[in-house]
A and B are shown apart, each in its own frame.
Chain A
């Protein structure tokens, strides 16, 4: 019988098959490290007197705690500063390549891997961070792991893992203008629920997925974890190769040809069987937005806040009630009537150049609602530089948005970028949990173009709600 993409990558990494219910031992091709989940793992190595097995398969960056303003000054918060300094000392001691704050390759770990060309099809990739699933967009098997496992990978470059089930998420058709990959994944999560992917590796397939850019595929795979899945994957194709070609760590010359030959085998066989299948019609999709406090609590932007009583399940009813209280929303309120205080464009879900371009395209020549604060946080220092080379920074600044340095920022508010209690935010990030963006903050997850349209109108809006660009505007900030 044929095998799925995920099974092919798994099989290619088995160092040792587990006997009688024991886990398989899998080889790990790439280990990404950041400051929050690594300190105890390094300490563990030190205490046991163990070396880091493959520093040449390990790379670190600073992202969760880093400030996005005044990055040349010492970090003000002492706990954040300690975590960063600890990472620097550990990387020095163990010889790990580190991209520190201020370096042009610094940024959110899941933006950095792909941009360096380190993220490649068919690899096993791990990181002490749940959104490691992002890298699955290249056809890699990429998983978030805990601190003990981080240490395990450091010491052995392997992980004992129990096999998973496979789920096909097939999206056919063509997305309408203003609808993006963020809307696909939010719709998937609303459909299967935040636990729907538990124990599965998801494979996104179908014509709508094939038509997506790498950035857009990363957005989808990134949020696989929000459906409870171990990982999400897209089979590599010409789009993947075009994205990778010429990147610093992509194979070159004959190596490239050998790699492509292998990568071309990385697709689910026609006669392979998935353990579960889900279908979505791309033609039907509208911009999506969350109304509640988990990523599964979402609706189309043209709909209204649901009535908790409309849910069949008692738990869902109770969860919806609690969420609406926290979000301070009444059932029946049209989503488009909801006013926001802040718009956050950033996070490992939507902070790549394409995301910034898409948002800039909408706001160019338009005015920001004066009551809305907008933060634009590029995913990496390189994205920031590339955006500036295109003049996007000027578009955002002319619009009245804040143009920041790279990092996780308001996605989780470990740095100073946080919502105030009660503040409402349209955010391109991935988690709308209570207090995620700051204690008492209220989050609506949206795509970059919805974020941009919302910043213009002050209420949750889709690009199609905007009128024509005023004729006299738009004189500055055009692409170079």
Chain B
């Protein structure tokens, strides 16, 4: 996973609460065999509507999604996070995230930052009045900067640390590679191997 210290990109105001994962990515896309290439699947039913925010310049080039409360509820599909990332989002701001979505985000390097709803409202206004405004999200100082507004955000310490270090679960485990190797060296020789193939 890439290290996340700070990110600056175009903010996208999504004035919606309770955006569930079925909206983020409908079930029909779960039959795919890849973990990438879900950009077209993101919000696919909403995107059929021309007035949807992601169908408008410059929001279609956005990388910081600013959503209403209770983002990512419903089904646990990890595909929701994959789709957001594939589209180009690095950060989602909301005053409340569903637990599973937040967990999945942390695993995949998408920053789910909790911002007070009052600040979300201010950011929405700024983005709507000045489309294309860049938002800077700084994970070191846990602040969001948008125009003149500087607002704090919350994230749990463990996830923050993993993101700052660029550690996914796998990366984290691999930090203990020497311990894994030491364990392997002590495994009894009667334990089975699948190779070479025996008949």
A50→B177 CA distance, assembly (Å):
13
A435 CB to closest chain B CB (Å) equals 14
Q: With contacts A248-B198, A251-B190 known, is A156 near B35, CB below 8 A?
A: no
Closest to A50 in B: B170
B28-51 at interface with A (beta carbon < 8 Å): 31, 33-36
Closest to B158 in A: A22
Interface residues on B, range: 20 to 34
Chain A neighbourhood of B192, CB < 8 A:
29-30, 117-118, 120, 123, 249-251
Is the pair A262, B33 in contact by a Cβ cutoff of 8 Å?
Answer: no
Task: Return the CB mask of A35-71 against B: 1 if under 8 Å, else 0.
Answer: 0000110011001101000011111000000000000
Rounded to whole angstroms, the CA-CA distance of A105 and B31 in the bound complex is 27
A79 within 8 Å of B (CB atoms) = yes
Closest to A247 in B: B198
Is A148 touching B180 in the complex (CB atoms < 8 A)? no
Candidates B170, B190, B195; contact of A155 at CB < 8 Å: B170
Q: Is A258 close to B, CB under 8 A?
A: yes
| B contact residues around A15 at 8 Å (CB) | 176, 179-180, 183
In chain A, what residue has the closest Cβ to B170?
A: A155
B174 within 8 A of A: yes
Q: Which of B169, B194, B195 has the most CB of A within 10 A?
A: B194
B126 sits at the interface (CB 8 A): no
Q: Whose C-beta in chain A lies nearest to the C-beta of B176?
A: A16
Find out whether the CB atom of A259 lies under 8 angstroms from the CB atom of B170. no
Q: Is A83 an interface residue (CB 8 A)?
A: yes
Q: Which B residues are in CB contact (< 8 Å) with A56? A: 193-195
Question: What's the nearest-Cβ distance from chain B to residue A21, in Å?
Answer: 10
Q: Does A152 contact B (CB under 8 A)?
A: yes
Q: Given A43-B36, A44-B35, answer yes or no on A147-B173 (Cβ-Cβ < 8 Å).
A: no
Q: At the interface, yes or no: B70 with Cβ under 8 Å from chain A?
A: no
Contact B198 A25, beta carbon cutoff 8 Å: no
B14 CB → nearest A CB, Å: 26
Alpha-carbon separation in the docked complex, A57 to B191 (Å): 10
Task: Kindly report which residue of chain A lies nearest to residue B108, judged by CB atoms.
Answer: A148
In the bound complex, CA of A29 to CA of B192 (Å):
8
| CB of B38 to closest CB in A, whole Å | 10
Asked if B194 and A40 make an inter-chain contact with CB atoms under 8 angstroms apart, the answer reads: no
Are A256's CB and B190's CB within 8 A? Answer: yes
* Chain B residues whose C-beta falls within 8 Å of the C-beta of A158 in the assembled complex: 173, 180
Give chain A residues whose Cβ lies under 8 Å from the Cβ of B34.
Answer: 39-40, 43
Contact in complex: B193, A57 (CB < 8 Å): yes
For window 67-118 of A, CB contacts with B under 8 Å fall at 79, 82-83, 86, 97, 117-118
Contacts of A160 in B (CB 8 A): 169, 173
Q: Which chain B residues (76-90) contact chain A, with CB distance < 8 Å?
A: 78
Contact A148–B33 (Cβ < 8 Å): no
Task: Tell whether B148 is near chain A: CB-to-CB under 8 Å.
Answer: no
Are B191's CB and A29's CB within 8 A?
yes
The reply to whether the CB of A157 lies closer than 8 angstroms to some CB of chain B is yes
Chain B positions within 8 Å of A156 at CB level: 170, 173-174, 180
A286 at the interface (CB under 8 A from B): no
Q: On chain A, which size bracket covers the interface?
A: 35 or more
Check: A271 CB closer than 8 A to any chain B CB.
Answer: no
Contact residues of A between 134 and 187, Cβ < 8 Å to B: 146-148, 151-152, 155-158, 160
- Chain B residue numbers with a CB within 8 Å of A248 are 198-199
| Separation of A16 and B179 alpha carbons in the complex (Å) | 7
Beta-carbon contact of B180 and A27 below 8 Å: yes
CB within 8 A of B107: which of A86, A117, A148, A262? A148
Q: Collect the chain B residues with CB atoms within 8 Å of residue A270's CB.
A: none
**Most chain-A Cβ atoms within 10 A of its Cβ — which of B33, B34, B174, B192?**
B192
Most buried by A among B174, B189, B193, B199: B193
Task: Decide if B78 touches A147 in the complex (CB within 8 Å).
Answer: yes
The one of B174, B188, B193, B195 that contacts A258, using a Cβ cutoff of 8 Å? B188
Give which listed residue, B31, B170, B184, B198, contacts A249 with CB less than 8 A: B198
- Residues from chain A with a CB closer than 8 A to the CB of B170 are 48, 50, 151-152, 155-156
Q: Are B33 and A40 in contact (CB under 8 A)?
A: yes
Q: How far is the CB of A28 from chain B (nearest CB, A)?
A: 10
Q: Which residue of A lies closest to B31 (CB)?
A: A79
Minimum CB distance partner of B107 in chain A: A148
> Within the complex, what minimum Cβ distance (angstroms) separates B48 from chain A?
23
A residues within 8 A CB of B107?
Answer: 148
Q: Find out whether the CB atom of A118 lies under 8 angstroms from the CB atom of B180.
A: no
Q: Could you tell me if B194 and A118 are in contact, using CB atoms closer than 8 angstroms? A: yes
CB of B191 within 8 A of CB of A123, answer yes
Q: Is A313 an interface residue (CB 8 A)?
A: no
Instruction: Return chain B residues, CB-CB under 8 Å to A30.
Output: 192, 194
- Minimum CB–CB distance from A248 to chain B (whole Å) comes to 4
Inter-chain contacts of B173 with A (CB < 8 A): 25, 152, 155-156, 158, 160
- Tell me whether B33 and A86 are in contact (CB under 8 A): yes
* Cβ–Cβ contact B190 & A59, under 8 A: no
Query: From residue 87 to 119 of chain B, which have CB atoms closer than 8 A to chain A?
Result: 107
Q: Hey, which bits of chain A sit against chain B, CB under 8 A? A: 15-16, 25, 27, 29-30, 39-40, 43-44, 47-48, 50, 55-59, 79, 82-83, 86, 97, 117-118, 120, 123, 146-148, 151-152, 155-158, 160, 248-251, 255-256, 258-259, 262
| Contact sample, A vs B, 22 pairs, CB 8 Å cutoff | A15-B176, A15-B179, A16-B176, A25-B173, A27-B180, A27-B183, A40-B35, A43-B33, A43-B34, A47-B36, A48-B170, A56-B194, A58-B194, A79-B31, A83-B33, A97-B197, A123-B191, A146-B78, A156-B170, A160-B169, A258-B188, A262-B190
Told that A43-B36, A97-B197, A157-B180 touch, could you supply 6 new A-B pairs with CB distance under 8 A?
Answer: A47-B36, A55-B195, A57-B193, A148-B169, A156-B180, A158-B180
Give 8 nearest A-B pairs by CB, closest first.
A39-B33, A259-B190, A40-B35, A59-B194, A248-B198, A56-B195, A255-B190, A43-B35
